[in-house]
Amino acid sequence: MQVQRNNYIYDYSMSPSFNDENSLFNFVVKDGNGVKGLVDSGLTEVPGRYIQPPNQRINKQQAAATSPENMTIDLSELDGPNHDQVVKAIAHAAETLGFFQVVNHGVPLELLDSLKVAAHQFFNQPPEKKAVYLKGVSPSPVVKYGTSFVPEIEKALEWKDYVSMIYTNDEEALKFWPNECKEVALNYIKTSMEMVKRLLQALIENLGVKVEESILDTLLGFKMVNMNFYPTCPNPELTVGVGRHSDMGTLTVLLQDGIGGLYVKKDENSSFGNEEWIEIPPMDGALVINVGDTLQIVSNGRYKSAEHRVRTTNSASRVSVPIFNAPLPMAKIGPLPELVARDGVAKYRELVFQEYMNNFFGKAHQGKKSLDFASI
Ligand code: OGA
Ligand code: NI
């Protein structure tokens, strides 16, 4: 049986066919079916629009595996006799890989499980339930559902759907965030807040500069929780879940499930094609922390925002739940003056964070090119 609805031809006996690239784009992006809708329609091969150029594909064998213990930090020791050692470990990770994992982070373990369940619940809804949060129709700017990063300008799309929830206050969160995930997402923000602040405090302390508490609050003034959904992919070797990028904020907290596929670039100076990528191994109960561009700017380049990307898989759908901690849009950011004085040079200029955001969301993911906008 074949039915024509809008521009798509649904053939319920076979995979759907799309008249042209436009109808695929409309189906996935504009009508809000997402990659999930594409997979649910029974396709057996990824459409051309999802095929990455060879140099962007992720070869599983290439990635060096690391043992989880190597990059795991126990935060319960931050207040004990090992304080200095723990600060050193956090700083070392932030200066090198820009990624580490934490345990005893203060976020209840049952909440981590509930977040993963809620993410599946949200994305398993029929498309029309999610499409109400699409850009342009969402009842509030604090919630947005979408697919890929900036599909309008990307040549190859990312194999990922997401819902973003911006935190302004509790009332707005509970009023506008989706019912399937609002309570757990709000809880996640609240129970991780103190940990994030302590991590930033430790990192600043390690720079040997004294900053007012208000600076920490400025650097963490904006919080957004995302739920990312990477549907099972028939051709993982041709696609990416997320292309190579760094996060624009200060520190990202990320919960991933047990599927794996999050890779971080090991040496930021390695040449293209000659890179080593490390997989962040899934670890039950742990949270992944990574340095964003803002912290690289503020530390005058001492801490490294991590370049990372996500591979897709054909084993099962993967979910992840990051919290992006960033400055408020109107905040001015730049290298800490004491560091500039000590280093004798400012590597980045001062800017209003909104400008940085506009530049970041105005381009497709391109590794760490985002930082050029702030470079001197
Ligand atoms: C991101 C991101 C990684 C993941 O959302 O910015 O890098 O594991 N996600 O989903
Ligand atoms: Ni990221």
Checking if the pLDDT of 13 tops 60, the result is no
Residue 191 host element (H or E): helix 182-206
- Read off the pLDDT of each residue in 122-147 and give the average, rounded to a whole number: 97
Query: What confidence tens digit (pLDDT) does each residue in 195-223 have?
Result: 999 999 999 999 999 999 999 999 999 99
Query: What confidence tens digit (pLDDT) does each residue in 28-39 have?
Result: 999 999 999 999
* Confidence at residue 268, expressed as pLDDT on a 0 to 100 scale: 72
* 322 CB near ligand 1 (under 6 Å): yes
- Read off the pLDDT of each residue in 141-156 and give the average, rounded to a whole number: 95
Give the Cα separation of 328 and 290 in Å (integer).
Answer: 19
SS3 content of the chain, % helix, strand, coil (to 5): 35, 25, 40
Residue nearest to atom 10 of ligand 1 (CA): 320
Strands (DSSP E) along the chain, which ranges? 2-5, 8-11, 17-18, 64-65, 72-74, 99-103, 143-147, 161-167, 222-230, 242-245, 251-256, 262-265, 277-279, 287-291, 308-310, 318-326, 332-333, 351-352
Å from CA of 238 to ligand 1 middle: 19
Query: What confidence tens digit (pLDDT) does each residue in 242-271 have?
Result: 999 999 999 999 999 999 999 999 877 777
For 320-352, give the DSSP string.
EEEEEEE--TT-EE---HHHHHHHSS-SB--EE
- Read off the pLDDT of each residue in 131-152 and give the average, rounded to a whole number: 96
Å from CA of 263 to ligand 1 middle: 10
Q: pLDDT category, 365, cuts 50, 70, 90?
A: confident
* 308 CB near ligand 1 (under 6 Å): yes
* Ligand 2 ion local residues (Cβ < 5 A): 247
Alpha helices in 65-177 (DSSP H): 83-95, 109-123, 127-131, 170-176
pTM of the model: 0.93
Residue percentage of the chain with pLDDT more than 70: 92
* 371 CB near ligand 1 (under 6 Å): no
Give the Cα separation of 204 and 190 in Å (integer).
Answer: 22
* Confidence at residue 4, expressed as pLDDT on a 0 to 100 scale: 46
Q: pLDDT category, 43, cuts 50, 70, 90?
A: confident
* Confidence at residue 354, expressed as pLDDT on a 0 to 100 scale: 97
Please check whether residue 294 is in contact with residue 353, taking contact to mean a CB–CB distance below 8 angstroms.
yes
* 243 CB near ligand 1 (under 6 Å): no
* Confidence at residue 68, expressed as pLDDT on a 0 to 100 scale: 56
Residue nearest to atom 6 of ligand 1 (CA): 247
* Confidence at residue 20, expressed as pLDDT on a 0 to 100 scale: 76
* Confidence at residue 21, expressed as pLDDT on a 0 to 100 scale: 78
* Confidence at residue 324, expressed as pLDDT on a 0 to 100 scale: 98
* Confidence at residue 63, expressed as pLDDT on a 0 to 100 scale: 61
Tokens of 10: 């649904």
Give the Cα separation of 97 and 109 in Å (integer).
Answer: 26
| Between residues 15 and 234, the one the model is more confident about | 234
Q: pLDDT category, 2, cuts 50, 70, 90?
A: very low
Checking if the pLDDT of 150 tops 50, the result is yes
Q: pLDDT category, 134, cuts 50, 70, 90?
A: very high
* Confidence at residue 288, expressed as pLDDT on a 0 to 100 scale: 98
Query: What confidence tens digit (pLDDT) does each residue in 63-112 have?
Result: 666 665 578 999 999 999 999 999 999 999 999 999 999 999 999 999 99
Å from CA of 13 to ligand 2 middle: 38
- Read off the pLDDT of each residue in 280-307 and give the average, rounded to a whole number: 97
Best residue among 147, 233, 308 to mutate for probing ligand 1, ranked by most atoms within 8 Å of CB: 308
User: Which of 4-13, 63-72, 318-327, 364-373 has the lowest average pLDDT?
Assistant: 4-13
- Read off the pLDDT of each residue in 156-174 and give the average, rounded to a whole number: 98
* 370 CB near ligand 1 (under 6 Å): no
- Read off the pLDDT of each residue in 332-348 and give the average, rounded to a whole number: 97
**Mean pLDDT over the full length of the chain:** 92
Checking if the pLDDT of 14 tops 70, the result is no
Please give the distance of CA 237 from its chain centroid, rounded to a whole number: 21
- Read off the pLDDT of each residue in 317-329 and give the average, rounded to a whole number: 98
* Confidence at residue 275, expressed as pLDDT on a 0 to 100 scale: 84
Ligand 1 atom closest to Cα of 288? Answer: 8
Tokens of 192: 């991780």
Query: Using N-to-C axis directions, what is the helix angle for 109-123 and 182-206, rounded to 10°?
Result: 130
Tell me the CA end-to-end span of the chain in Å, nearest whole number: 61
Query: Using N-to-C axis directions, what is the helix angle for 182-206 and 83-95, rounded to 10°?
Result: 100
Å from CA of 279 to ligand 2 middle: 14
Which among 254, 200, 191 is positioned nearest to 87, based on CA atoms?
200
Place of tokens 């064998």: 61
